[in-house]
Chain A
Amino acid sequence: MVANNVGSLKAKLVLQDGTIFHGKSFGADRSVPGEVVFNTGMVGYPESLTDPSYKGQILVLTYPLIGNYGIPKSGKDEHGIPLNFESEKIQAEGLVVADYSFDYSHYTAAKSLAEWLKEEGKPAIFGIDTRQLTKKLREKGVMLGKIVIGDSDVEFNDPNLRNLSAEVCTNRKITYNQSGKPRIVLIDCGVKLNIIRSLISRGCCVIRVPWDYDFLADKKLDFDGIVVSNGPGDPKMCTTTIKNVAAAMKKEIPTFGICLGNQILALAAGGDTYKLKYGHRSQNQPCINTETKRCYITTQNHGFAVNMKTMPEGWEELFVNANDGTNEGLRHKNKPFMSCQAHPEASPGPLDIGFLFDDFMKVIK
């Protein structure tokens, strides 16, 4: 049996600069605005779509053949963490691909990508020259856009003006692996679930708190270290988080920042961040450890970066991006603070820097 695209609704992607890409719909019958970003990873669309860092964004996949292995079934592991995905739902506002595979094949697949998108109310387009689109975004920088299905138009909307972390993070404190050690406070600015899994697999008890939770004020909270998670948008929107982390730093509590967390650490230490022209969104970013000169292939998903020149005395660069020289991580010379811009939890992507979780465990001890 072959489903085919006969009868797919006409759809278009409209960019802020007026460019229109015509294609066909394979997701929900709903028009949405967002910031248009591209990712060059060749696998992992279920993981990417559920990554909270894509909140507010329309995701363009440069790999043209998408949907091949369907979508795995949902379920929860022994700690109550959803299996197979990076959050409980699709976070990206919409999806743009070149060639959608209406038929999928994989033993773990429970449904097609199209079915899933429709269930979650997310629009998607195929039949677009995604390379042309990517080149435009590369040359002009990320821009606002909208997916328009049929005739129902919407207004452009800049997600970076909102505090996206607040929109995607947990709204209550959740403790995983209660008996675990060390005890980690995980500041959820839009955390990918594999960060939690990675910590639990190293024996940690993970206390996941909302982005603005004042964990120092919570006297009942007993913990050994802090992880500042990844998340969407501009780090400067997370003012409360920055303030809380700065306070924790004064107490020299071991802290590990990941992605947005790297930027928040920098801001909390008094440094500055800036917006990249089109960000790093891929699974093949080489990062060099400035000390060992060892190079790692990493997953990245960020639009902002730390300006190393603004970092105060005592901070040094842990990793640098081998392609464009941007900051990829920080370390304090004599205090227990470390961070990385790439994703040690991968998912999707290579597992090269998973050891950073181990390094943080050593920092705590």
Chain B
Amino acid sequence: MASNKVLDKKDITKLAFTSMFLQASFNYERMQAGGFLCAQLPALKKIYKDDKEGLSAAMKDNLEFINTHPNLVGFLMGLLISLEEAHADRNTIKGLKVALFAPLAGIGDAIFWFTILPIVAGISASMAIEGSIVGPIIFFLTYVVIFALRFVWTHLGYNLGTKAVGTITEGAEKIGRAATILGCTVIGGLIANYVSIAVAIEIPVNEAKTVMVQADFFDKIFPNILSIGYVFLMYYFLKQKKVSPVVLIVCTFVLAIVCSFFGIL
């Protein structure tokens, strides 16, 4: 086993760095496959040295369809490279890759796109709107830290070797659920803060009194009720009617302009 060791810590750190090329040749046929192979090539070359056949087999396997999460892919690469280094059976390596890339994508999307991004974007955008440069700086620094974590995932994957597989498939669902709960709570808050629909209609009752539809009616029922109502309407169209987001954006646009023309909004 020890004699198989050809990679040192530096190689794994390099692998974490090259993992950022995951999407360098993204396409609809194989998605991230080209970049996935590209990122691992320096390590694979070191493992297979002059064994052209072995290298070619590994290259062909890694050119098969893959679509996982860019921020977490280092973990998968580290894990697979540790198996390549141990010259594990090709089918084991391939099977592991196929078993893991989708759960990783699921966790990654839940954590990075649906939890961290809304929170960091919401906080830093509210600062930027008030004219503070601190907003974008916080945003940038957060993502520098997230990028730095790639080095942690990759070493983790390499060190855990095959031991990690059980842990990650068991934990994926629970972690994903917890992240989704957090994400949903924050999105609720974002809807209240950042979707603004204000009805401009005023109905004159008599000379002394006019009813402002927004302030006297909707706000008395519940503040932001139109905002959350519109979000659910859009959700209904997206989920139940499978309407494309682009259509909804265009419709919203047209609706806003028509309502503006008639003085409704």
Do A and B form a real pair?
Answer: no
Question: Interface residues, chain A, CB within 8 Å of chain B?
Answer: none
